[in-house]
Structures are given as structure tokens and as C-alpha cells.
Amino acid sequence: MAYVSVVGSLVWTAFVILPFAPFSYLPAIMIGGGPGSWFFLAYVLYLSIGVGGVGGLSSFAYTVEAHEGRLIDSRVMSIAFVLLGFGITASCILLAIAGALGGYVNNIEGVTETTVQSLLSPYVYPITATVLLALVGAALAISAMVRARWPQS
């Protein structure tokens, strides 16, 4: 999954630097601050958690199995990585969409603060729910590694 996050990060970076609309608005949205900072935050979180966090978690799982010789329940780890991957990706995408839309109307169109808030408010609970899915996935993965068993002789 860390490899998928790397590819996603490369695509995301390409979107930010493309010189034609609507992508050409993204740098101005990020620089403008306010809701546009949500877009930048989503980008940084996806890079750090999607690539670094998942890569680190995978290396811990490798250490448990290869160096300690313990067996991790593959069913639990599969569920954990699906929840973690979906949660990270969905929350960062939702955060980026909200940040791009909010930043556009705030920094480019110059609408009122109330309009920006009404545009962003529908994103809060879905982002919260997907972050919780990612947390459940991470907790399952850590618990599977802690409960890993020594092979029976």
C-alpha cells in the first residue's frame, strides 16, 4: 500500500503543478491560506502517513515475522490494511476537495466567510468518519503484531 501512496503522491504533485485550469488555481489557493490550507494539509498528510506511516507499519510487521519468527494473523492484517488504506486515502481526498473548493471561493471568487463555512461544513463528518476508519485499521494492525504467535514445533 505504501507503493500505491507513492504513485498517488506523484499524481497529486503533477496536479498541483499543471499549468492549465482548474489545476493552475491550486498554487494560488494554497498560498491564499484559509480553507486552501486544508488542501495543502491533505497533501502533506498523504505524503507522510500514506507513504511513511504505512511503510513504517509494514516494516514493523516484517520485523515481527522475519526477525522474531512470530506469525501474524493474515486475515486481521488484511482487514487492517484495507481499513487503513481506505481511511487514509478517503480522508485526504475529502480534505483536499474541501480545501480546493473552499480556497477557490474564498481566495479567487472572494465570497463571504459564511458562504465558505456553509460550503465546507458537509465535509466535516465524512472526513471524521474516514479518519476513524484509518485509526481502527492502524489499531487492528498493531494489535495483530502484538498478538503474533510463535510457530508450533
Give the number of C-alpha atoms closer than 13 A to the C-alpha of residue 76, restricted to the C-beta side.
16
For 42-61, write each residue's pLDDT tens digit: 988 888 888 888 888 889 99
For 17-32, write each residue's pLDDT tens digit: 778 887 777 888 787 7
Q: Show me where the domains of the chain are located.
A: 2-146
Q: What is this structure's pTM? A: 0.84
Q: Which residues, in sequence order, are CB contacts of 2 under 8 Å at separation 6+?
A: 50, 51, 54, 55, 58
Q: Give me the count of residues in the chain.
A: 153
CB 80 within 8 A of CB 138: yes
